[in-house]
Amino acid sequence: MSRLAAIQMASGPNVPANLTEAGRLISRSVDAGAELVVLPENFAYMGMQEKDKLGISEQEANGPIQDFMAAQADKHRVWLVGGTIPLQSEDKQRVAAACLLYNDHGDQVARYDKVHLFDVRLEESKETYHESQTTTAGKRVMVVDTPFGRLGLAVCYDLRFPELFRRMATEGVEIIAIPSAFTAITGKAHWEVLLRARAIENLAYVVASAQGGYHVNGRETFGHSMMIDPWGRVLDCLPSGSGYVMAKIDMQQLNTTRRNFPVLEHRKLPCDLPSV
């Protein structure tokens, strides 16, 4: 059985300080036995305004944040899911929210760009978000082989769209990493129930890494980073503050569950059913 970990932070607008904290938590989780570590969304930078991330965006495979992730993976001989970082796109006014996967030699082996962008208004707090103004939407599902199982990548708001995860299921996903920065309000209402639903529906492990706390820009994020098994059981949870959660994943148990409870085989797609 392998040990997987999810890091929780409360990132701010100081990139070096965020990277120092991320490095500290990666080291702690690896010392505790982690073989794959997931960083939260925006782990390296949460600016005062959404547009601020344009100023620290990097070209793919070229920049201090990517150098940091590669070096951490290589140094600790750990697989690392790099939350999200802003990578330059063809649109000079917008960046990609890129989730990068590094192997235990520091090589980038996968990239997933966040598909669903957070354009919402929260009545309770009067918060308004227009992520699409500064971020380009991704267009690809990402499921990749790792030593621990078939790993799918998704980010934060993606969690609300089960179709994305069903597509992962058709590609054999066994573990789903979900770096996130859920707001305090939406997190309290929906975070755990959505995470557990995605695990249950797809009979997969879920590794959910979250921002958690108060940020310099005035934002409050929900935290509650979690590890969830294919039956929907929460294996570990960190309600608030910086730290990490960790759990063992048992692929034999996953395979037994899928064999005894073959939900994925019983699926009937709407396109296969006649209309009334």
Phi-psi region of 241 (alpha: psi -120 to 50; beta: other; left: phi over 0): left
**Structure token pair of residue 102:** 């590094």
Residue 214 bridge partners (DSSP): 220
Instruction: List the catalytic residue out of 99, 114, 131, 174.
Output: 114
Task: Tell me if 198 sits within 8 A of 166, measured CB to CB.
Answer: no
Residue 151 bridge partners (DSSP): 144, 175
Tell me whether residue 156 is one of the annotated catalytic residues.
Answer: yes
Instruction: List the catalytic residue out of 41, 58, 131, 174.
Output: 41
Cβ contacts of residue 63 below 8 Å, gap of 6+? none
Nearest to 177 by CA among 136, 208, 143, 142: 208
Q: Where are the beta strands (DSSP E) in the chain?
A: 2-8, 36-38, 79-81, 85-88, 95-102, 108-113, 119-122, 127-130, 135-136, 143-146, 149-153, 175-180, 205-210, 212-214, 220-222, 225-228, 234-238, 243-249
What's the DSSP call for residue 211? B
Instruction: List the catalytic residue out of 53, 99, 156, 174.
Output: 156
Crossing angle of the two packed helices 192-202 and 162-170, in degrees rounded to 10: 30
Tell me whether residue 41 is one of the annotated catalytic residues.
Answer: yes
What's the DSSP call for residue 9? B
Active site residues: 41, 114, 156
